[in-house]
Amino acid sequence: MPDIILIITGILCLIAGLAGCILPAIPGPPVSYAGLLLLHFTDKAQFSATQLLLWLLIVVIVQVLDYLVPMLGSKYSGGTRWGTRGCLIGTVIGLFFMPWGIILGPFLGAFIGELFGGRETRQALKSGLGSLLGFLFGTVVKCVLCGYFAWEFVSALVR
């Protein structure tokens, strides 16, 4: 009976984790990882310590990159320090205006930052679009990781 509860809770964590890749209020990869941990504590499946630690490391890296990639997108699309800092500020402010703030925050932050830095509108837009593409890339990476965790969960149950 306790195994069933852990498995059902693990499945719910995986579903919430996948949703969290798109809904910024839920940290997707950590929640999906929790689902794998719940399965690990059952008699149905066991993961090695190496697997669990490697997956934890990947989750930490993905979570950190999720905040850095929009800034890198701004920088590599020709943005300056102003755009990068604006992107960071926009990301933080955007957290308070869910769900659109998390998408528009980095874009608008980079755009406005570049304008404050004296860039022309066209270059500021390019920097803002770079941060938006960085955000979208980070979302795809999170979805892939959570999908992989779901696959590991299901394949461990089927074995």
Distance separating alpha carbons of residues 12 and 43, to the nearest angstrom: 19
Residue 18 burial (10 A CB sphere; 0-12, 13-18, 19+) = buried
Q: What is the pLDDT of residue 1?
A: 66
Distance separating alpha carbons of residues 37 and 52, to the nearest angstrom: 8
Amino acid identity, position 38: L
Residue 58 burial (10 A CB sphere; 0-12, 13-18, 19+) = middle
Q: What is the pLDDT of residue 44?
A: 87
**Global pTM value:** 0.81
Domain boundaries, the chain: 2-158
Cβ(131)–Cβ(71) under 8 Å?
yes
pLDDT tens for the chain, residues 1 to 159: 688 999 999 999 999 999 988 877 788 999 999 999 999 999 888 899 999 999 999 999 999 988 788 777 877 787 788 888 888 888 888 878 877 887 888 888 888 988 988 888 888 888 888 888 888 898 899 999 999 999 999 999 888
Distance separating alpha carbons of residues 123 and 49, to the nearest angstrom: 48
Q: What is the pLDDT of residue 150?
A: 96
